Structure 1
Amino acid sequence: MSTASDTPVLDTILAMTDDSLERCGLAPDMLLLTRIAALAASDAPPVSYLAHVDPALKAGLTIEQLQDVLVAIAPIVGTARVMTAAGNITSALGVAIAVAELDAEG
């Protein structure tokens, strides 16, 4: 099977995301909070949070609201997943800050 792109996996993920956005009636901030909750529930790695935390902050969400989502889902997904998610969000924020600093430097 040949692909028309050098990044078929990334292209597929972007297409799935676009399709989801077109079909979802949630406001952008609620959509991102829902996705962050799903990432925590699925024990996602930091890179997955990186794709959602920065857009969440740009959509006007606060760190406190991200923490509130983790508090809300803790009884359902368990403390281990919530603690892992908190660490992964922290890692994603660190990467986002580093990238922003590099962009600011030129």
Structure 2
Amino acid sequence: MATASETPVLDTLAAMTVDSIERCGLAPDMLMLTRIAALAASDAPPISYLAHIDPAIRTGVTVEQLQDVLVAIAPIVGTARVMTAAGNLTSALGIAIAVADAETEAQARH
């Protein structure tokens, strides 16, 4: 099967995300918090959290809200998944901060 794109997987994920957002009636911050909860419940890797960090920040989601989500889902998904999610979220935040710092340094040099 030939594709018209060099990134068919990313393109598909982006299209699914856009479709989901268009069909969802949640406020943007609630949508992002719900997605974070789903990532924790599905034992997602750090890269999955990384894809949601910038959109979550843009909607005004706070670290406290992220912590509250993990607390709220702990009785349902279990402590092991919540601890893994906290670590993966922390890793994703660290990556996001490192990228932002590198971009800031690059802009300062030019």
Radius of gyration: which is bigger? 2
The alignment yields a C-alpha RMSD, in angstroms, of: 0.6
Structure 2 gap ranges (5+): none
* Number of aligned residues: 106
The structural deviation recorded for 1:53 is: 2.1
> Where does structure 1 lack aligned partners over 5 or more consecutive residues?
none
Segments ≥4 residues shifted beyond 3 Å = none
Q: In the TM superposition, what is the alpha-carbon distance from 1:84 to its structure 2 partner?
A: 0.2
CA drift of 1:61 comes to: 1.1
Find out whether 1:86 has 2:86 as its counterpart.
Answer: yes
- TM-score, structure 2 length as denominator? 0.94
How many Å separate the matches in 2 of 1:96 and 1:89?
A: 10
Show CA shifts across 1:43-63 (max 9, x none): 000000001122212211110
User: What is the alpha-carbon distance in structure 1 between the residues aligned to residue 18 and residue 61 of structure 2?
Assistant: 21
Normalising by structure 1, report the TM-score. 0.98
Shift of 1:66: 0.1
What SS is found at the alignment partner of 1:18? helix
Distance 2:53 2:88 in 1: 10
Aligned to 1:38: 38
Quick one: percent identity of the two aligned structures? Answer: 80
